[in-house]
Amino acid sequence: MSKLLEFDSNVDVESRESTQPTATVELIPTPVSPEKNPYKASHCPSDIYELLPPDGSTFGLFADPYASMKYVDVNIGNRNGRYWLEQRLEDYSFTDRELKLLEYLSEHRVGTRSQIERVVFPDDIKSKTVIDFLKKSRQRGIICSFSWVSPLDDGRKKPLVYGLTRVGAEAASKLFYKQVSDEFWFHPIKFPHGKGPNMTTFFLDLAANELYSELVRIDRIIDWQRRPQVRLSDGTKHYPASSFEVIKDKDEMRLFWLETVRVGKDWVGRTKNRFQRIQSAFEKLPPYQKPVRLIILTDSDSRISFLGKLAHQYMPDVKVRFTTDERLLQGIGEETFISYKHETEDVALTPIPIFKEDYPGMTASEYLDSQEVNIEDEEDDWYEE
Instruction: Please give the average per-residue pLDDT across 129-153, as a whole number.
Output: 96
Residue pLDDT, tens place only, 257-272: 999 999 999 999 999 9
Instruction: Please give the average per-residue pLDDT across 9-28, as a whole number.
Output: 52
The whole-number pLDDT of residue 20 equals: 45
Residue pLDDT, tens place only, 277-316: 999 999 999 999 999 999 999 999 999 999 999 999 999 9
| Beta-bridge partners for 133 | none
Domains annotated for the chain, with CATH where assigned, are 1-46+207-371 (no CATH), 68-197 (1.10.10.10)
Give the separation between CA 9 and CA 300, rounded to whole angstroms: 22
CB 117 within 8 A of CB 127: yes
Q: Distances in Å between the alpha carbon of 153 and those of 41, 44, 141, 298, 367?
A: 8, 10, 32, 20, 46
The whole-number pLDDT of residue 24 equals: 60
Instruction: Please give the average per-residue pLDDT across 178-184, as a whole number.
Output: 95
The whole-number pLDDT of residue 15 equals: 43
Q: Distances in Å between the alpha carbon of 312 and those of 101, 301, 309?
A: 39, 17, 5
For residue 17, which phi and psi values (nearest 5 degrees)? -80, 145
pLDDT over 50 at 59, yes or no = yes
Instruction: Please give the average per-residue pLDDT across 26-51, as a whole number.
Output: 90
The whole-number pLDDT of residue 21 equals: 45
CB 318 within 8 A of CB 240: no
pLDDT over 90 at 193, yes or no = no
pLDDT over 70 at 25, yes or no = no
Closest CA to 167 of 148, 195, 139: 139
The CA-based dihedral angle spanning residues 161, 162, 165, 168, taken in that order and rounded to the nearest 10 degrees: -170
The whole-number pLDDT of residue 288 equals: 92
Q: Which residues contact 20 (CB under 8 A, 6 or more apart)?
A: 316
Quote the mean pLDDT of the chain: 91
Residue pLDDT, tens place only, 309-353: 999 999 999 999 999 999 999 999 999 999 999 999 999 999 999
For residue 101, which phi and psi values (nearest 5 degrees)? -65, -45
By three-state DSSP, how is residue 173 classified?
helix
Concatenating the DSSP letter of every residue in 32-73 gives PPGGG-TTTTS---TTHHHHS-TT-PPPPTT--TT-EEEEES
CA 271, 272, 276, 279 torsion-angle sign? positive
Among the residues of 248-318, which ranges form H helices? 267-283, 304-314
Instruction: Please give the average per-residue pLDDT across 242-259, as a whole number.
Output: 97
Q: Which residues contact 189 (CB under 8 A, 6 or more apart)?
A: 71, 74
Q: pTM score, two decimals?
A: 0.91
For residue 254, which phi and psi values (nearest 5 degrees)? -130, 130
Instruction: Please give the average per-residue pLDDT across 23-27, as a whole number.
Output: 67
pLDDT over 90 at 181, yes or no = yes
Instruction: Work out the burial of residue 56: count CB atoms within 10 Å of its CB; fewer than 13 is exposed, 13-18 middle, 19 or more buried.
Output: middle
